[in-house]
Amino acid sequence: MVMQSLDDDQAVEVVSIPLAGKTSIADYMVIASGKSGRQVASMAQKIAEKCKQDFGRPARVQGLPTADWVLIDAGDVIVHLFRPEVRAFYNLEKMWAFGEDANPGEPRIGILAKP
């Protein structure tokens, strides 16, 4: 549901990171960028609405006033939405996908490519 919503809203550089064995807070982390704060806010609001419709519970959303970095706790999935320059600064992909325990032969990060 999250990935489809981001695709529908033309999110860029969408990355899904499996968190199994790294943390118990969620099963997956999704990181994506919007081209502007307005697009980031819109994507976040749509994901929150779809969580409520599909699962009957609201997602917790932080960061909407500025929409530089919006965090959505959707239960088993944590979603980080960024403006590109903020995403480059924090570089969450590196922190979560390629830690010291990473096995170089095991794919630990998936990038959705647009056809």
Residue 36 lies in a domain: yes
Residue 99 lies in a domain: no
∠ Cα 81 102 30 (to 5°): 15
Q: How far apart are CA 33 and CA 19, in angstroms?
A: 20
pLDDT in tens, 29-78: 999 999 999 999 999 999 999 999 998 888 999 999 899 999 999 989 99
Question: Residue 115 — pLDDT band, cuts 50, 70, 90?
Answer: very low
| 3-state secondary structure (DSSP) of residue 46 | helix
Q: What is the pLDDT of residue 20?
A: 82
**Predicted structure pTM score:** 0.82
What is the DSSP pairing of strand 69-73 with strand 60-62? antiparallel
Q: What is the pLDDT of residue 104?
A: 38
Residue 39 lies in a domain: yes
Residue 73: which CATH number?
3.30.460.10
Residue 21 lies in a domain: yes
Residue 109 lies in a domain: no
pLDDT in tens, 69-110: 999 999 899 999 999 999 999 999 888 765 534 333 333 444
Q: What is the pLDDT of residue 58?
A: 86
Q: How far apart are CA 37 and CA 79, in angstroms?
A: 16
Q: What is the pLDDT of residue 23?
A: 85
Residue 115 lies in a domain: no
From the number of C-beta atoms within 10 Å of its C-beta (0-12, 13-18, 19+), residue 54 rates as exposed
Structural domains of the chain, count: 1
**Domain with 56 in it:** 2-92
Residue 84 lies in a domain: yes
Whether the CB-CB separation of 58 and 50 falls below 8 Å is answered with no
